[in-house]
Structure 1
Amino acid sequence: EIDNCYHRAAEGRAPKIEKQIQSKGPGITERERREIIENAEKEKSPEQNLFEKYLERRGQSNFLAKLYLARHLAIICLSSIPISYLSAYYARQRQNEFTCALGEPPDISSYVELKLRVNCKLPAVQLQRIMAAVDIALLCTMNLIILVNLLHLFVVRKSNFVFDKLHKVGIKTRRRWQKSQFCDINILAMFC
C-alpha cells in the first residue's frame, strides 16, 4: 500500500516536473534541471516522504543482508558434510561382486574339488552407489545455485535494483544508496 501511495504521488508530480523542464526550452542547463527537481522534492506528499524515509533506513541498514548471506553460507557449509560422507561411501563401495564357496563339506580335509566357487552379486550395493551419486549431484547443484545467486546479488549487480522498480525516487537519495549493494533494500526488493 505504501508503494501504491508513493507511485500515485510520484506520478502526479512527474508531469509538473517535465512541464517545468520543457518550459525552459532546449537550452536548459544541468544546474537548472537539478534546481527544478530539488524544488519538486520539497513539495513531496506525506506518503512519498514516508516511503523515502523507509527506503533510506533500509538502504543504510545491512542486517537482513548479513542474515541472508549467513544463512546461505551455513547451507553450503552444512551440505558439505553429507557430500563428503556420500563421496567417501561412493569411493569405498566399488565392488559389488565376490566369490563365495557353496557346498563346503564339514570336513576341511576333504577334496578341493568338492568345493563349489560361485560368483555372487549384491544389487543393493550398486543401487546405494547410484543413490549416493544422485544425492551428491543434487547437493552440488544446489550449492552452485546458491553461490551464483549470492554472486549475482552482491557482486555482479552494479547498482541497487530497487531503482529499476521505483524509478521516480529523487536524485539525491538515489546517489546516496548506489554506493553499496550489500544493503537490506536489495534483499527486500528480491522478494517483491
Structure 2
Amino acid sequence: MTLLLLDLDGVLRRFGPDTAIEDRFGLPHGTLASVAFSLAGPALVGEVTDEEWRTALGARLSDEFGPDRAKNAVTAWSRVGEVVPEALALVRKVRSHHRVALFSNATTRLPEDLRRLGLDREVDDVVTSALIGAAKPTPEAFRRALGQLRVSADETVFCDDNAENAAGAVAVGIDGVHVPDVAALRAALADRGLLDG
C-alpha cells in the first residue's frame, strides 16, 4: 500500500487574500504575511506556541499601527481558512485504497484547525513541523515524518504546492511532486495509479 503524504495549505486548504483584512484595518498590502512569516520560524519548529507567535505578531504591528488596530487585524487574519472541495474529493478516492497523511509546516494550532475544518476525519495521520521539531524542506523534517508514520521513503508519494518542498522530499528518496493546483494534484495521483479502483 502506498502512503500519500500531502501538504495542507495550498493543496487541501486555502485562504482568501489578506488584502481585504489589511484594507479594513488600514495596513499596507503585504504587511500581515511579511511580518508574520518573519516571526514564524520558532513557532514552526515548536520552540514557541501558536499563541506566543500571534502575540509577538500583534506586538510588532502595534509599534507602527497602535495596539487596537494590531490586535484586531491579527484576530481577523487568524482565520481557519476553507477546505478545497475538489482536492478533498481526490483524497477520499485515494483513501479508499491507500493510506493518506498530512505533513504541514504548522504551529501548535494545527490540530484545532483540522477539527474545525473536519479534516481530522479525512486523513489517517498528521505530521506537524511544530511537533517533530523540523520544517520542510529540510531532509531532517522528511526523515522525522517518515519515522513518525513508520513508512519508508520508497513507499511514499508527497505532494506540495511549494516546489522547494517537493524537491526536499526527492532528496531523501520520496516521490515528491510539485502540485500548484488541483489539476496538477489530480494528474499526479492519476499518473501513479492512486485514483484507480
Q: TM-score range by the shorter chain?
A: under 0.3
TM-score, normalised via structure 1 length: 0.25
TM-score, normalised via structure 2 length: 0.25
- Structure with the greater alpha carbon radius of gyration: 1
Larger strand share, 1 or 2: 2
